[in-house]
Amino acid sequence: MQKRISYIHVKPSLWKQFSPWTLTLTFLTSLATWADLPASFDLRNVNGTNFMTAVKSQIQGTCWTHGTMAAMESNMQVTGEWKDNAETGEPNLAEYHLDWWNGFNQFNNDDLTPPTGNGLEIHQGGDYRVATAYISRGEGSVRDIDGQSYYSTPTRKASNYHYYYPKNVEWLVDDGESSRNEIKQTIMTHGAIGTCMFWDNSLYDSSKDSHYQPISDVRDPNHSIAIAGWDDNKVTKSVTNGAWLCKNSWGSWWSGDGYFWISYDDKHCCKHEQMGAVSFQDVTRQTYLNFYYHDYHGWRDTLPVEKAMSAFISKEDEDLIAISFFTATNDVDYNISVYRQFTNGLCNNIATVQTGRIDRTGLHTVDFDTKVHLLKDDPFYIVLDLSQGGQPYDKTSEIPVLLYTNSFPQQDFDKYLETLGKMSYKRLSNTIVTSTARTNESFYWSDTQWIDLTTLDSSANFCIKGITSYPDWDDDDMPNAWETQFNLNPTNSSDRNIDNDMDGMSNYEEWIADTNPTNNNSVLNTSIDINAEQITINFNSSTQRLYRLLASDNLISWHDAPDCSVQMGNGSNDQIITSCTNTTIPQYFKLRAMND
């Protein structure tokens, strides 16, 4: 279900006069517009606000799940998305749900029949592309309280899980000062980013809390961490100063506070193309209906063609509202077309077109301006035209893994592998993961016709995903099911702004507030109680809605009312209390009900 917002004003007769309050809002985006980047920056203290979550302590080779969630959690600290969804405490996502259900391991791979037995060893590594494949399928991320379990398998999905989905995952690379500045800017705007390194005790200088692997060292990355800031003057073992501040997952006691530094000159940190600097952005509470895809393992390789197509069949009545895809390079113009027919090798009966430009390599979710209404069993064909870089696709492939464990942090890595009965790091790092494709799923355009991708590689599928919501056929923002329930017309939008039961709220407003549009006793009612210390807004709420109290002294700019955060409705007589008091300047409040 899409988030929709309605402003429901406290009745004018209840507006009261109060003095302004002192409200300190820290918006990181204001920092990000600085022309000059600061010489040092630490997300743990941005003008007194901490945008990093607690340091975790990983079990076995799950560093990459911790690097991923550290970045996603930090993004929600910056945007406020976690709080805006009435979640409690700091953002906390389930690393081990990703560990178990990423689909690349011997425990589960949906592309195998049966789905067990081959691929990565469970708990023994993965990387950001593995994490992004899992996320882009809509399988995660789930909250810590939903699916965090290392020793026993967490339930794969449940109706009470809350899913958090990064609409964009960007891959950056530091190949000079300007790109390094871009990475810094990205950290300031979007929070911590995932990175990688080759951990070896000999490369770590405990006296300076810093790591440096020279370019000449040939060893591949074996550990994942998250970058939380930088210091241009930090002294490391490299000849030039400057280092990234990194959050590790070896406990908050490790190195004093769980954080350490990696030199700007390090071989892999911010340099490795797939794992060096991965930014998980626009993390949102995910309430889509279905994800349609054939690329279960996401981006494994790139085909040098511009135009690709994926064919799907709708599972139920629904609306196609967005697609996700990968771009394999920066600065790509895209053209998405959705068709309803594919006959004689050509697409026809076009349903929608969406065009735009993507700045950076990575996963991108594009919302449609015009959604596509689908009936159960309707075929639909998504054509994606990318101006450059080729088309990312999934195929049976070798997976490099970020693996280092802290179980024996003082122990040499090879010795650690011996304890697991492994021959060498190299053997573990070269694991083939099987992908499966069928004919009539993915096609590429060759001069004058569409060619089935399986003719090139029998395991290959393009990375094109269709994303749907509950159907709203007349585009009046009230879903079919709700309109039908209350005898409204799901194929006529003129009932949107009508007030059928004449209770002062339009049918659409009743949908937003989850009240009954055919009963004038069912309406969002508010009242206000004032005393010297606080103001209480009383209202009747729905357990299916979130509520936010906003305040203003001029009716133009609105802020969260002091000491108030978004809260879930309790389903009956509810209240929000604010500390805003006194009577010299007028204060206005409005209660916002949110359908989420």
**Interacting residues with Ca ion (CB under 5 A):** 472, 474, 476, 478, 483, 489, 495, 499, 501, 503, 505, 515-516, 522-523
Considering the complex, state which of residue 320 and residue 505 has its C-beta at the smaller distance from Ca ion: 505
Residue 323 CB, shortest distance to Ca ion, in Å, is: 22
Tokens of 398: 């070798």
Considering the complex, state which of residue 441 and residue 509 has its C-beta at the smaller distance from Ca ion: 509
Tracing tokens 């073992």 back to the chain, one arrives at 237
Burial 36-70 (b: 16+ CB within 10 A, else e): ebeeebbbbebeeeebbbebbebbbbbbbbbbbbb
Helix (H) or strand (E) holding 49: none
Tokens of 13: 């007769």
Considering the complex, state which of residue 99 and residue 319 has its C-beta at the smaller distance from Ca ion: 319
464: closest CA among 345, 350, 282, 339?
A: 339
Residue 1 CB, shortest distance to Ca ion, in Å, is: 13
Residue 472 CB, shortest distance to Ca ion, in Å, is: 4
Residue 129 CB, shortest distance to Ca ion, in Å, is: 39
DSSP per-residue letters across 238-265: SSS--EEEEE-SB-TTTTTTSEEEEETT
Residue 22 CB, shortest distance to Ca ion, in Å, is: 39
Considering the complex, state which of residue 265 and residue 472 has its C-beta at the smaller distance from Ca ion: 472
Considering the complex, state which of residue 185 and residue 493 has its C-beta at the smaller distance from Ca ion: 493
Residue 577 CB, shortest distance to Ca ion, in Å, is: 26
Backbone phi, psi, residue 227, to 5°: -85, 130
* DSSP, res 53: P
Whole-Å CA distances, 561 to 27, 215, 546, 557, 578? 16, 53, 15, 12, 6
Considering the complex, state which of residue 137 and residue 496 has its C-beta at the smaller distance from Ca ion: 496
Helix (H, G, I), strand (E, B) or coil at 551: strand
Calpha distance 475→62 (Å, rounded) = 44
Helix (H, G, I), strand (E, B) or coil at 197: strand
**Residue 115 near residue 89, CB atoms below 8 Å:** no
Residue 318 CB, shortest distance to Ca ion, in Å, is: 13
204: closest CA among 213, 214, 193?
A: 213
Residue 591 CB, shortest distance to Ca ion, in Å, is: 16
Residue 479 CB, shortest distance to Ca ion, in Å, is: 6
Considering the complex, state which of residue 405 and residue 500 has its C-beta at the smaller distance from Ca ion: 500
Considering the complex, state which of residue 93 and residue 524 has its C-beta at the smaller distance from Ca ion: 524
Tokens of 135: 């996320």
Considering the complex, state which of residue 522 and residue 565 has its C-beta at the smaller distance from Ca ion: 522
Cis peptide, bond prior to residue 562, ω within 30 of zero: no
Residue 498 CB, shortest distance to Ca ion, in Å, is: 8
Alpha helices in 493-595 (DSSP H): 507-513
How far does CA 556 lie from the centroid of its chain? 32
Considering the complex, state which of residue 489 and residue 534 has its C-beta at the smaller distance from Ca ion: 489
Considering the complex, state which of residue 89 and residue 504 has its C-beta at the smaller distance from Ca ion: 504
382: closest CA among 264, 296, 494, 467?
A: 467
Q: What torsion do the CA atoms of 212, 223, 425, 101 make, to the nearest 10 degrees?
A: -170
Considering the complex, state which of residue 356 and residue 504 has its C-beta at the smaller distance from Ca ion: 504
Calpha distance 114→102 (Å, rounded) = 16
Calpha distance 451→271 (Å, rounded) = 36
Residue 486 CB, shortest distance to Ca ion, in Å, is: 9
Residue 525 CB, shortest distance to Ca ion, in Å, is: 11
Which residues, at least 6 apart from 447, have a Cβ–Cβ distance to it below 8 Å? none
**Residue 391 near residue 303, CB atoms below 8 Å:** yes
Q: In what order do the strands lie in the sheet with 301-303?
A: 301-303, 391-394, 461-462
Pairing of β 210-211 and β 259-263: parallel
Calpha distance 81→285 (Å, rounded) = 7
Considering the complex, state which of residue 109 and residue 515 has its C-beta at the smaller distance from Ca ion: 515
Helix (H) or strand (E) holding 346: strand 346-358
Residue 197 CB, shortest distance to Ca ion, in Å, is: 51
For the chain, the first-to-last Cα distance in angstroms comes to 7
Considering the complex, state which of residue 116 and residue 544 has its C-beta at the smaller distance from Ca ion: 544
Considering the complex, state which of residue 174 and residue 472 has its C-beta at the smaller distance from Ca ion: 472
Name residue 171's amino acid.
W
Residue 471 CB, shortest distance to Ca ion, in Å, is: 8
Residue count of the chain: 596
Alpha helices in 19-94 (DSSP H): 28-32, 63-79, 81-84
Residue 138 CB, shortest distance to Ca ion, in Å, is: 24
